[in-house]
Amino acid sequence: MAATETEQPVRTAHVRSGYHPEDAFTGVTLTPPPAAEVWFRDTSGPGRYGPGTQYRYWFALDLDTGELWYGDTDYRDAEEHLVRQLPGYLRQSANDLTVRGKVIVRLVTPVGYSQEHGYTTRLFTAEELYEVATSVLPIVQRIVDTMHRVGPRGELEWSAAADSAWKDFERAVEPTVGRDSVSWPEPVISPVADWRHEATEFLERHPELIPAEWATASDAELDRIAAYKPPSGYGGVAGYLCTQGNAQIYDGGWGGHSFYGDRAALYAYRAQAAGDRTSTPVEPWLQTEAGKRALDAATTEYGALAEQNDDRLDTFADRLQAAATVENLLLTGVREHLERERATERRAVEDLLQREGSEVARIEALLKQARDRRRIHLVRVMAWTQRSDRELGTLASMSHTAVGDLREKLAHDDEQED
């Protein structure tokens, strides 16, 4: 079984109930086209094929449980709507390693061609499809046994062995149709080709490229690295490490090869780095009493996260890890969490500064208007009163020196006018 962070139950490849002769094939519904709609013409362009030639069979495999079953498509439905008829997803290409669901489907085209007889269509019975299904169960078992199951939820990921076995499965369910005969390939489990490699092999071969922080990276960070895809060259773990380390994968070593199990490799590496400790996301741990005490102690000693530089964040992270170690835990995503919290606190302070700055600007604008009005009224009063500067200052809530300065300015302006 592929290395992941969790042990998995034993799974046995089997044909789904209702798809056996002893079940009278109660789960099978085949709707082949009538012979009148299956025809080929030796012409080009529209009308070359009859509508019945769109007919397909399919085999569906639950990659998690090993359950296998089969069926057919509705030839009357448009070709572009084929996918919605299927119980699972189709690979987009031969090298498509994206797991889009538990159930993967392989289409079977019941058509053959020869120079002598042209195109020939062969319709299969449930009994024939059942025989094919049972014959490929060893291959299915190989796929199910070697799929990576990552993390506590056992999320599926293709391994080198599973992908190789899937290719064997594809070959085994593709018939050779002749005018008077049909044959199915002998099911064979091929050795894994030398060009297929597990990402764990690359990590074991190049430990000097592995960043220390991977040992405590969060699930999200590991998933981001596994999904790394540059414009050209290798992606995933190998490509990421080579890009970060300014290294290259040469043809003489790993070039031209395919890597599998990026997420599985990263999660397994983190689990191995944890040793006998249990990897635990930092967020839920900080909600525990131990987590709250550790963070409060660090904040009391060093201050709010918003005030901390990057080096001090490392100190915060070390303090939290030390507290978790007492509980035999290894916290994951600590630095990322602290960076997010620091950014949140800083944004909150900046938002507060913006709000207070706006309020001050509003008040200062009102104050300027009030001062302008006060000056106007003070000048008017000066014109008709003999009160002293001190008395006017008291009346206008100003200092007597400010009143005197205004009186001198007005007198100077009058002289300039004269």
The pLDDT value recorded for residue 48 is 60
Average pLDDT over residues 219-248: 90
Contact 86, 105 (CB under 8 A): yes
Residue 329: what residue type? L
The pLDDT, as a whole number, for residue 114 is: 65
Band (pLDDT 50/70/90 cuts) for residue 33 is confident
Q: Which of 303, 326, 325 lies closest to 316 in space, CA to CA?
A: 303
What's residue 177's pLDDT?
85
- Summarised one tens digit per residue, pLDDT across range 341-381 is 999 999 999 999 999 999 999 999 999 999 999 999 999 99
Q: What is the mean pLDDT of the chain?
A: 90
Beta bridge partners of 274: none
Range from 69-83, 85-99, 130-144 carrying the lowest mean pLDDT: 69-83
- For 299-344, the DSSP string reads HHHH--GGG--HHHHHHHHHHHHHHHHTTTEEEESHHHHHHHHHHH
- pLDDT score of 2: 42
H or E segment to which residue 129 belongs: helix 126-135
Q: What pLDDT shows up at residue 95?
A: 81
Q: Which amino acid is at 299?
A: T
Residue 155: phi and psi, rounded to 5, are -65, 140
d(CA 151, CA 253): 30
Give the pLDDT mean for 178-186: 86
pLDDT tens readout for residues 270-323: 999 999 999 999 999 999 999 999 999 999 999 999 999 999 999 999 999 999
Return the closest-CA partner of residue 219 out of 265, 261, 281, 157.
281
Confirm if 162 and 11 have CB atoms less than 8 A apart. Answer: no
Rg (CA), the chain: 38
DSSP 89: B
- Helices (H), ranges, 206-333: 219-226, 236-244, 262-274, 282-286, 289-302, 310-325
Pick the residue with more confidence: 232 or 173?
173
- Whole-model pTM? 0.79
The pLDDT assigned to 5 comes to 44
Residue with tokens 């390939």: 185
Lowest mean pLDDT segment, chosen from 110-119, 364-373, 409-418: 110-119
Question: Which candidate, 263, 283, 397, places its Cα nearest to that of 336?
Answer: 283
Q: How far apart are CA 292 and CA 300, in angstroms?
A: 12
The reported pLDDT for the residue numbered 59 is: 97
Per-residue pLDDT at 44: 62
* pLDDT of 71 over the 70 cut: yes
State residue 4's pLDDT score.
47
Strand partners, 260: 198
Can you say how many angstroms the Cα of residue 387 is from the centroid of all Cα atoms in its chain?
80
Q: How many CB atoms are located within 10 Å of the residue 292 CB?
A: 12
Q: What is the largest distance, in Å, between two alpha-carbon atoms of the chain?
A: 128
DSSP string for 39-63: -B-S--STTSB-GGGG--EEEEEET
Model confidence pLDDT, tens digit, residues 52-68:
678 899 999 999 999 99
Q: Is pLDDT above 60 for 253?
A: no
Beta carbons of 81 and 92 less than 8 angstroms apart: no
- Alpha-carbon distance 273 to 152, whole Å? 17
Percent of the chain with pLDDT over 90: 73
